[in-house]
């Protein structure tokens, strides 16, 4: 059990510390949700991935064939292209905690350094 | 002017024919054109197939390309599933008449972080529609799509938007969905946002499954409200409407022989009407099958094709048994003019029987059809079901101008004039076979209970199975009794003897009288002779007396003269 945790931790750490993050945001026009999602994403990346991320915004209205090609149903959808594996997150990204969990920036099991992570760890262990 | 025009357009709601056998009849022409239709039903009741057939028929028959969006099965699976129905999806896809799109949804992959909508789906759908210029769209199934997302609130809104969007696109859409608990649909709003709701149902009764279809709602159009059985046949779905066939078939005055000469005589001398339906009912062993096969044989002899459904006996058994009464149908079977179709009633659901009959009738194009016996179908469905199925069969055959004969077994103990399925009212001619027990034996009686549109005999005849086929005999109708069989023969002999006896008696009395007259005349002669003799005697005596008196007188004078008397 401990070994598994250790591997998971190592993997999570590798992802967190990956040198290059490529994030794709699929939207359908300049909708309220799209604008909100982009703003939220910028903020999160700025806080957690300073200097090592790239955001690509894809407007499905301009490239409708990509909806099928990239299997997008809901918009906005955030796709983590790098580091692998591919991850999908839908919504306007207003729930920061869930975005971080979704991007593997916030492993639920071992918090490191971050206030929010610590809070979460404590909450889980029943300290708060 | 414009308002009336608009009204008129609304009055005649444009419809989109599905091409599915029978469905267009119960919907009065098809699904609402350019509007979404919800098809709901639980697993395995044929939703996907209905949606697919709608598109395939559209592409093949109505030049309307379609898009099939599947949230469950992959393109390849969809193609494989329907290849057995003869639908070559690959060909249609290559022809740009059909587009399959499998949208894979894995709920666990998706993290929801706030508000979103399904615009991506709409874009994908819109792109697909444009790429083949689709007029028809199928979405299969809603639950698989919306099950992939957690927010019920968003899903409800998106569901509404989806239906609206489909309408705006001007496509005729079939959206499939599963029924909710105690509700028609899962979210409870699908049926309100659809213009037409079709309910599919797969029900088990006993061990026999039946699929049913019902149009629950159809905005702006009248529709059949009944539940109709439907089948997945060899070429797709087949809905079997009852009422749509109506009662508008052509009738003919042409007659066909019953195959039993004297029965023809009983039916106004010519037999059944062509295209009518005939019921032959009776208790066990009264010769129903014989009456049926005689009819079939007569048809074969006229070179008419005959389709014989045997629900009790195997083909070979029918042939053997009928040979025992001198009816050899094997040559007819071999020459293909008679088709014996033996099948256990319980081997299939009612609808399957119905479709088998439809199919064989369509292929074989018979002049007459025999079903022996229909009472066996009771074991597969309830009386109501069987009746409605038979009504369908009868209507169908009538429409085709096929003469149909059905036999029905009346259970011992029930009144003879009943059929368990209460189908007698559907029949034009009803021949009743019964057994007549008398004098220690059991004989068969036959009579015509009813025969619409002809003067038929009201007599009971004895139904005789000889080694040369069936024949009818007069029964003995004495005072207060009906005799058949040996009793009849005995009674007839007795009567003959009685008649002979009476004749003799009269002759004897004649002779008696003759003799008496002779005696009388002899006596009269004797008396007359006596009388004559007496008369003669009297005459003689009188003469003698006279003579004597004469002599005396003479003598006296003589004496006086001799005495010389002084006086």
Is B158 marked active-site?
A: no
The pLDDT assigned to B567 comes to 57
ipTM above 0.85, yes or no: no
Question: B residues 67-126 near A, CB within 8 Å?
Answer: 101, 103-105, 109-121, 123-124, 126
**H/E element holding B56?**
helix B47-61
Alpha helices in B195-305 (DSSP H): 261-266, 288-301
Mean pLDDT of chain A, nearest integer: 77
Is the CB of residue A7 less than 8 Å away from at least one CB of chain B? no
A81-103 burial code (b ≥16 CB/10 A, e <16):
eebeeebbbbbbbebbebbbbbb
Task: Kindly name the residue from B72, B75, B227, B304 that is annotated as catalytic.
Answer: B72
Is the CB of residue A59 less than 8 Å away from at least one CB of chain B? no
Beta bridge partners of B465: B470
Residue range(s) defining the domain that contains residue A59: 2-125
Contact call for B113 and A95, based on CB within 8 A: yes
Contact call for B104 and A77, based on CB within 8 A: no
Q: Residue A67: which of B116, B120, B148 has the nearest Cβ?
A: B120
Q: What CATH number is associated with residue A95?
A: 3.40.30.10
Is there a cis peptide before residue A25, judged by omega within 30 degrees of 0?
Answer: no
Q: Residue A74: which of B116, B126, B128 has the nearest Cβ?
A: B116
Is B312 marked active-site?
A: yes
Rg (chain A; Cα; Å): 16
Per-residue pLDDT of chain B (567 residues; tens, 9 = 90+): 444 444 444 456 888 999 887 888 888 888 999 999 999 888 888 889 999 999 999 999 999 999 999 988 888 988 988 888 888 899 999 989 999 999 888 776 678 888 888 888 899 999 899 999 999 999 988 888 888 888 888 888 888 899 999 999 999 999 998 887 777 777 777 778 888 999 998 877 666 667 888 888 888 888 777 788 787 777 788 787 654 455 566 777 888 888 888 888 888 888 888 888 899 988 888 888 888 888 988 889 889 999 998 888 888 888 888 888 888 888 888 888 898 888 887 777 777 787 778 778 878 889 999 988 888 777 777 777 777 778 878 888 888 888 999 988 887 666 666 665 567 777 888 888 888 777 777 888 888 888 888 888 888 888 888 887 788 877 776 666 667 777 778 878 888 888 888 999 999 999 999 999 999 999 999 999 999 999 999 999 999 999 888 888 888 888 888 877 665
Query: How many residues appear in chain B?
Result: 567
Nearest CA in chain B to A97: B113
Distance, CA of A76 to CA of B117 (rounded, Å): 8
Q: How many domains does chain A have?
A: 1
pLDDT of A23-48, one tens digit each? 899 999 888 889 999 999 888 888 88
Task: Kindly name the residue from B75, B312, B313, B315 that is annotated as catalytic.
Answer: B312
The pLDDT assigned to A3 comes to 62
Q: Are B462 and B485 in contact (CB under 8 A)?
A: yes
Is the CB of residue A94 less than 8 Å away from at least one CB of chain B? yes
Contacts of B145 in chain A (CB under 8 A): 73
Query: How many residues appear in chain A?
Result: 128
């Amino acid at each position: 059990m401990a070994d598994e945790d250790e591997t998971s931790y190592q993997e999570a750490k590798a992802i967190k510390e990956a040198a290059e993050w490529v994030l794709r945001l699929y939207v359908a026009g300049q909708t309220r949700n799209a604008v909100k999602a982009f703003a939220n994403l910028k903020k999160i990346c700025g806080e957690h991935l300073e200097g090592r991320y790239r955001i690509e915004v894809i407007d499905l209205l301009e490239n409708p064939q990509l909806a099928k090609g990239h299997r997008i149903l809901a918009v906005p959808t955030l796709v983590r292209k790098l580091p692998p594996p591919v991850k999908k997150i839908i919504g306007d990204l207003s729930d920061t905690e869930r975005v971080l969990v979704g991007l593997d920036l916030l492993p639920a099991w071992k918090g490191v350094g971050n206030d929010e992570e610590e809070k979460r760890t404590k909450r889980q262990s029943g300290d708060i | 002017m414009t308002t009336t025009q608009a009204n008129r357009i609304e009055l005649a709601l444009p419809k989109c024919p599905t091409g599915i056998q029978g469905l267009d009849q119960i919907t009065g022409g098809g699904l609402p054109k350019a509007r979404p239709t919800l098809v709901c039903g639980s697993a395995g009741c044929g939703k996907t197939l209905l949606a697919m057939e709608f598109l395939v028929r559209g592409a093949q028959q109505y030049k309307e390309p379609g898009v099939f969006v599947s949230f469950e099965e992959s393109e390849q699976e969809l193609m494989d599933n329907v290849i057995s129905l003869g639908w070559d999806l690959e060909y249609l896809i290559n022809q740009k008449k059909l587009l399959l799109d499998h949208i894979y949804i894995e709920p666990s992959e998706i993290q929801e972080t706030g508000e979103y909508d399904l615009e991506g789906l709409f874009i994908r759908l819109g792109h697909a529609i444009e790429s083949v210029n689709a007029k028809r769209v199928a979405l299969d199934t809603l639950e698989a799509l919306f099950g992939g997302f957690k927010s019920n609130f968003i899903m409800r809104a998106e569901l509404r938007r989806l239906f609206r969007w489909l309408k705006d696109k001007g496509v005729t859409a079939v959206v499939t969905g599963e029924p909710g608990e105690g509700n028609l649909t899962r979210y409870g709003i699908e049926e309100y946002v659809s213009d037409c709701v079709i309910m599919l149902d797969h029900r088990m009764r006993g061990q026999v499954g039946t699929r049913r279809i019902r149009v629950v709602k159809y905005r702006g159009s009248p529709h059949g409200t009944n539940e109709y059985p439907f089948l997945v046949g060899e070429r797709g779905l087949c809905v079997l409407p009852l009422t749509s066939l109506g009662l508008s078939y052509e009738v003919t005055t042409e007659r066909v022989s019953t195959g039993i000469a004297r029965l023809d005589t009983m039916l106004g001398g010519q037999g059944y009407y062509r295209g009518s339906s005939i019921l032959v009912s009776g208790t066990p062993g009264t010769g129903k099958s014989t009456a049926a096969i005689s009819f079939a044989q007569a048809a074969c002899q006229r070179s008419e094709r005959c389709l014989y459904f045997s629900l009790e006996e195997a083909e070979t058994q029918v042939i053997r048994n009928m040979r025992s009464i001198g009816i050899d149908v094997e040559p007819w079977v071999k020459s293909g003019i008679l088709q014996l179709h033996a099948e256990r009633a319980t081997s299939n659901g009612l609808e399957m029987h119905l479709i088998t009959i439809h199919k064989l009738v369509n292929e074989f194009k018979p002049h007459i059809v025999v079903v022996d016996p229909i009472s066996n179908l009771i074991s597969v469905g309830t009386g109501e079901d069987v009746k409605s199925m038979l009504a369908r069969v009868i209507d169908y055959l009538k429409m085709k101008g096929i003469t149909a004969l059905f036999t029905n077994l009346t259970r011992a103990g029930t009144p003879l004039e009943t059929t368990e399925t209460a189908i007698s009212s559907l029949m034009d001619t009803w021949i009743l076979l019964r057994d007549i027990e008398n004098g220690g034996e059991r004989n068969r009686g036959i009579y015509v209970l009813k025969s619409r549109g002809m003067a038929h005999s009201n007599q009971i005849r004895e139904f005789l199975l000889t080694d040369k086929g069936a024949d009818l005999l007069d029964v003995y109708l004495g005072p207060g009794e009906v005799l058949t069989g040996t009793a009849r023969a005995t009674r007839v002999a007795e009567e003959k003897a009685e008649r002979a006896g009476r004749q003799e008696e009269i002759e004897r009395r004649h002779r008696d009288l003759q003799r008496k007259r002779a005696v009388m005349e002899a006596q009269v002669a004797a008396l007359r002779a006596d009388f004559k003799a007496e008369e003669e005697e009297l005459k003689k005596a009188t003469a003698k007396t006279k003579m004597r008196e004469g002599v005396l007188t003479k003598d006296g004078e003589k004496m006086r003269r001799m005495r010389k008397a002084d006086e």
